[in-house]
Amino acid sequence: MSAPLLTATGVHKNYGNTQALRGVDFAIEAGEIVAVTGPSGCGKSTLLHCLAGLLSVDAGEIRYRDQDIGLFSEAARSRLRRSDFGVLFQFGQLVPELTAAENVALPLLLSGSGRKGAREAALGWLDRFGVADLADKRPGAVSGGQQQRVAVARAMVTEPKVVFADEPTGALDQLNGEQVLGAMVRVAREQGTAVVLVTHEATIAAYADREISLRDGAVDPTGLGVAP
Amino acid sequence: MRFSTLVRLSLAGNRTDRLRTVLTAGSAALAAVFLLAAASVASVRGGDLLVDPTGMADRSPGSEQYASPLLMEAGLRPGVIFALVMLALPALALAGQCIRLGAPARDRRLAALRLGGATPGQAVLIAGAETAVASLLGSVAGLGIFAVLRQVLDPRSADGRLWLPVDVVPDPVLVAVAVLLVPLLAGAIGVLLMRRVVITPLGVVRRVREKGPGPWPGVLILIGLPAFVGPELVPDDGNGPDWNVPEWAPLVSMGVGALLVMTGVVLGVGWISYTAGRLLRRFGRGPATLLAGARLMADPWNGSRTLGALLGALVFGAGTLGFRAQLAADFEASERYSRMVDPARGGSGQDNEFYFGAIRLVMVAVAVAMVVAAAGVLVAFVEGIVARRRAYAALTATGVPRRTLRAVLLWHTFVPLVPAVLLALGAGTALFRMTGTEVRSGGGGTYETCVDPVADWATCAKQTLVEPLVVVPVPIPFGGLALLGAGALVAMLLVVGVGAAVLRSSTDLEELRAG
């Protein structure tokens, strides 16, 4: 077995006096799809945000390719998110004023790519997720499911090593949700991209190779939702 | 990030963003016109006072084509330039308010860009570029407006002389400074306004101050008042007045003192707002006072940001009224003294109308500044209501009457405004009262005169007389101050009136279903 791509060791995160994470250990290998499950408020999203470098941890460390990302500057973590990481949320991640193609091209443009090349790449990714015909539409003009496909295309456009998906189908009906997730998992497997998938739905977690369960900010070793 | 990407991301926006761009550009254009007018006056040459060896006074050529001494006399032109630059300040403050327009939507957009991988520096660059581009477009438009006005406006006096310096082409360096200064300052204001805003990929965090502001800006006022008359406080060693004070020192000292006092007043509004909010929450009897008090305490610096230009204009206006009162007392003392020493002449015969005319012009400039500043407050006020429209709609939905929300606006605006206006007027008045509360003329001791007034001075019999002393108290211009203060309050009442109209549409329950 190869060394893990991303690891979290003894991660603690507090919001004021509330302990969101209490010594969480986690590891994911290249190309692996891991679901993080648990009831509302157990710390799933906080763990994902810490893993993606969106939040800093209070104790413990998160290592990507054996580098402690806690030591990275905010700008370096931003660069990581537009090169090696892709991030996907339930909603709200698309820039409403940009077209679908511009949204997908955004990480490439921010990295210094030319508009023409970035648009061509974006169109290719929109096509892979079946929404190429929406390229020049703004997010407000398309359905929730289509918006989420555009968001998945944006998360994948840089061919990241890890995609972090926080309840990516939470705002969609079951059929749309399964279509979006099915497409994302298919492409991730083709690309060899690891996926950390936060969800509280068993049908969504079933797409993963492995599942870890959180309860009250700690990994539930039984995976049955019982507090340690 | 390439420049073209920066431009595209800066220009991406909704209707509110476009409105912000237009208003920012408009206020930048206004500021540029004032600055270019100042550059024109600065480019006028001639009019220096020349005294030849025989004692004959004349003026250097170059400005004789102007009808107004304000342009003709080199000594008076710096005052005109200063007034025009002062007029540009409220226009810049208006630009500052416009930059805040639609801030919540823009912040959400920037957060989405951060989520897409933009670094914090890139997010600030995108926001700054938007402001700078809008301001630059505005100041270039201002240059165009200025060029057109130079062609169109050509008022002349009866003898064909010019009232405005339309014959002068401003120095290119000054034009460049006037055009570039506005975007630079607007960009700086934009960055300043965003300094407490952290755009994270998960949203926008506004750092909340845990402790309320203290009364420390009062120290600035206390330092500014003596600084205003600084050189006069240097003890005279008997070798003549101001023996060790450079010529420029009084003017610089006055400027620094006035600036410190204005800054103290503007920043002091933070403490006034916080204290007023605390008192409202403690002693208020209804939901309106409770809500207004909570909002004042939650963002006490809102008053400093929105009312800054208005209060600055009030300090300046009150100072000008104080100067006018002192000048009037000075003239009266000279007049009375002349009458006492030479009753036959019946007074000094001095024509003072020119000086009072110049002061009237300054007061007109103050009024214009107040109108521009009130426009800035209006933009901020409406923006505040629109940004909270969902919260207002939710309050209405839960049964809070609209009249209560209107009362919140009134309390929130006027509770800190009234003491702030009084502080501004008081500080402005105190500036000139620092130079003295009375004017003295004569009283220099004894002097000799001929017993027979028509006799020859060399041979006449002399008598020693005591020089009369005339003391005229400088009155506090209560009437003018009341008018100035009332003008500010009426302007703000109009702003609240417009705000109440916007509030009506913003509390529509449809807002709860939107977006």
- Provide the pLDDT for residue B194: 63
- In angstroms, what separates the C-alpha of A156 from chain B's closest C-alpha? 11
What mean pLDDT value characterizes chain B? 81
Of B4, B8, B115, the CB nearest to A93: B115
- Provide the pLDDT for residue B192: 67
Q: What is the mean pLDDT of residues B141-169?
A: 86
Output the CA torsion sign for A174, A175, A176, A177: positive
- Provide the pLDDT for residue B143: 93
Q: What is the mean pLDDT of residues A58-67?
A: 90
Name the burial class of residue B426, with classes exposed (0-12), middle (13-18) and buried (19+) by CB atoms within 10 angstroms of its CB: middle
> How many C-alpha atoms does B280 have within 13 Å on its Cβ side?
27
Q: Do B117 and A78 touch (CB under 8 A)?
A: yes
- Provide the pLDDT for residue A33: 92
- Provide the pLDDT for residue A224: 52
Indicate if the pLDDT at residue B239 is higher than 70. no
Helix or strand holding residue B31 (H, E):
helix B15-42
- Provide the pLDDT for residue A122: 92
Helix or strand holding residue B192 (H, E):
helix B172-193
- Provide the pLDDT for residue B363: 86
Helix or strand holding residue B392 (H, E):
helix B389-397
- Residues of B in Cβ contact (< 8 Å) with A117: none
Q: What span, in angstroms and rounded, lies between the C-alpha atoms of B382 and B374?
A: 12
For B450-464, write each residue's pLDDT tens digit: 887 777 878 888 888
Give, to the nearest 10 degrees, the angle between helix B15-42 and helix B77-100. 170
Indicate if the pLDDT at residue B52 is higher than 80. no
Bridge partners, residue A197, by sequence: A35, A165
Q: What span, in angstroms and rounded, lies between the C-alpha atoms of A39 and A37?
A: 7
Q: What span, in angstroms and rounded, lies between the C-alpha atoms of B186 and B71?
A: 30
User: What CATH number was assigned to the domain covering residues A6-219?
Assistant: 3.40.50.300
- Provide the pLDDT for residue B348: 55
Q: What span, in angstroms and rounded, lies between the C-alpha atoms of A58 and A222?
A: 26
- Residues of B in Cβ contact (< 8 Å) with A103: 116
Indicate if the pLDDT at residue B100 is higher than 80. no
- Residues of B in Cβ contact (< 8 Å) with A55: 202
Of B5, B14, B201, the CB nearest to A97: B14
Give, to the nearest 10 degrees, the angle between helix B287-298 and helix B249-283. 140
> How many C-alpha atoms does B27 have within 13 Å on its Cβ side?
29
- Provide the pLDDT for residue A226: 40
For B358-377, write each residue's pLDDT tens digit: 788 888 888 888 888 888 78
Q: What single string gives the DSSP state of each residue in A13-77?
A: EEETTEEEEEEEEEEE-TT-EEEEE-STTSSHHHHHHHHTTSS--SEEEEEETTEEGGGS-HHHH
- The answer to whether the CB of A25 falls within 8 A of the CB of A50 is no
- Provide the pLDDT for residue B193: 64
Name the burial class of residue B495, with classes exposed (0-12), middle (13-18) and buried (19+) by CB atoms within 10 angstroms of its CB: buried
- Provide the pLDDT for residue B427: 93
CA of B280: how far to CAs of B267, B413, B489, in Å? 20, 13, 20
Q: What span, in angstroms and rounded, lies between the C-alpha atoms of A136 and A150?
A: 12
- The answer to whether the CB of B109 falls within 8 A of the CB of B59 is no
Q: Do B114 and A111 touch (CB under 8 A)?
A: no
Of B13, B17, B112, the CB nearest to A93: B112
Residue B179, token pair as written in the block: 């055009």
Q: What is the mean pLDDT of residues B366-390?
A: 81
Give, to the nearest 10 degrees, the angle between helix B353-387 and helix B103-115. 50
Indicate if the pLDDT at residue B318 is higher than 90. yes
Q: Which residue has the higher pLDDT, B196 or B18?
A: B18
Of B1, B113, B200, the CB nearest to A112: B1
**pLDDT confidence tier of residue B420, bands split at 50, 70 and 90:** very high
For A110-133, write each residue's pLDDT tens digit: 878 888 888 999 999 999 888 889
Q: Do A79 and B117 touch (CB under 8 A)?
A: yes
Q: What span, in angstroms and rounded, lies between the C-alpha atoms of B373 and B305?
A: 11
For A70-97, write each residue's pLDDT tens digit: 888 888 888 888 788 888 887 757 887 7
Q: What is the mean pLDDT of residues B139-158?
A: 87
Best probe of the A interface among B15, B17, B107, B115, by most A CBs < 10 A, is B115
Bridge partners, residue B469, by sequence: B442
- In angstroms, what separates the C-alpha of B277 from chain A's closest C-alpha? 26
Pairing relationship of beta strands A67-68 and B49-51 according to DSSP bridges: unpaired
Looking up tokens 């420029």 gives B248
**pLDDT confidence tier of residue A106, bands split at 50, 70 and 90:** confident
Indicate if the pLDDT at residue B151 is higher than 90. no
CA B344 to chain centre: 46
- In angstroms, what separates the C-alpha of B199 from chain A's closest C-alpha? 11
Q: Do A109 and B2 touch (CB under 8 A)?
A: yes
Give every CB contact of residue A4 below 8 A, 6+ residues apart in sequence.
A27, A28, A29
B114 touches chain A (CB under 8 A): yes
Q: Give the residue among B468, B473, B481, B404 at the shortest CA–CA distance from B438.
A: B473
Ranked by mean pLDDT, the top range of B122-126, B242-246, B333-337 is B333-337
Residue A136 phi/psi, 5-degree rounding, is -100, 15
Is ipTM over 0.90? no
Residue B32, token pair as written in the block: 């540029």
Q: What single string gives the DSSP state of each residue in B233-279?
A: GSPP-SSSTTTT--TTHHHHHHHHHHHHHHHHHHHHHHHHHHHHHHH
Indicate if the pLDDT at residue A136 is higher than 70. yes
What spatial distance separates the first Cα and last Cα of chain A, rounded to whole Å?
28
**pLDDT confidence tier of residue B515, bands split at 50, 70 and 90:** very low
Domain boundaries, chain A: 6-219
- Provide the pLDDT for residue B483: 93
Q: Which range among B145-149, B242-246, B469-473 shows the weakest confidence by mean pLDDT? A: B242-246
Q: What is the mean pLDDT of residues B409-414?
A: 88
The pTM for the full model equals 0.66
Q: What span, in angstroms and rounded, lies between the C-alpha atoms of A45 and A89?
A: 10
Q: What span, in angstroms and rounded, lies between the C-alpha atoms of A178 and B188?
A: 49
Q: Which range among A140-144, A160-164, B441-445 shows the weakest confidence by mean pLDDT? A: B441-445
Best probe of the A interface among B7, B119, B199, by most A CBs < 10 A, is B119
- Provide the pLDDT for residue B102: 67
Bridge partners, residue A211, by sequence: A35
CA of B82: how far to CAs of B38, B91, B259, in Å? 8, 15, 13
What mean pLDDT value characterizes chain A? 85
- Provide the pLDDT for residue A228: 38
Q: Which residue has the higher pLDDT, A133 or A2?
A: A133
What is the maximum span of chain A, computed from C-alpha positions, in angstroms?
53
Q: Do B117 and A97 touch (CB under 8 A)?
A: no
Q: What span, in angstroms and rounded, lies between the C-alpha atoms of A51 and A36?
A: 12
What secondary structure letter does DSSP report for B464? E
Give every CB contact of residue B160 below 8 A, 6+ residues apart in sequence.
none
CA B355 to chain centre: 21
- Provide the pLDDT for residue B353: 76
> How many C-alpha atoms does B217 have within 13 Å on its Cβ side?
22
Q: Give the residue among B231, B284, B314, B230 at the shortest CA–CA distance from B404.
A: B284
Scanning A52-173, the segments in alpha helix (DSSP H) are 74-81, 100-110, 115-128, 144-156
Angle at B300 between CA B298 and CA B304, to 5 degrees: 150
**pLDDT confidence tier of residue A34, bands split at 50, 70 and 90:** very high
Q: Which residue has the higher pLDDT, A29 or B87?
A: A29
3-class DSSP state of A218: strand
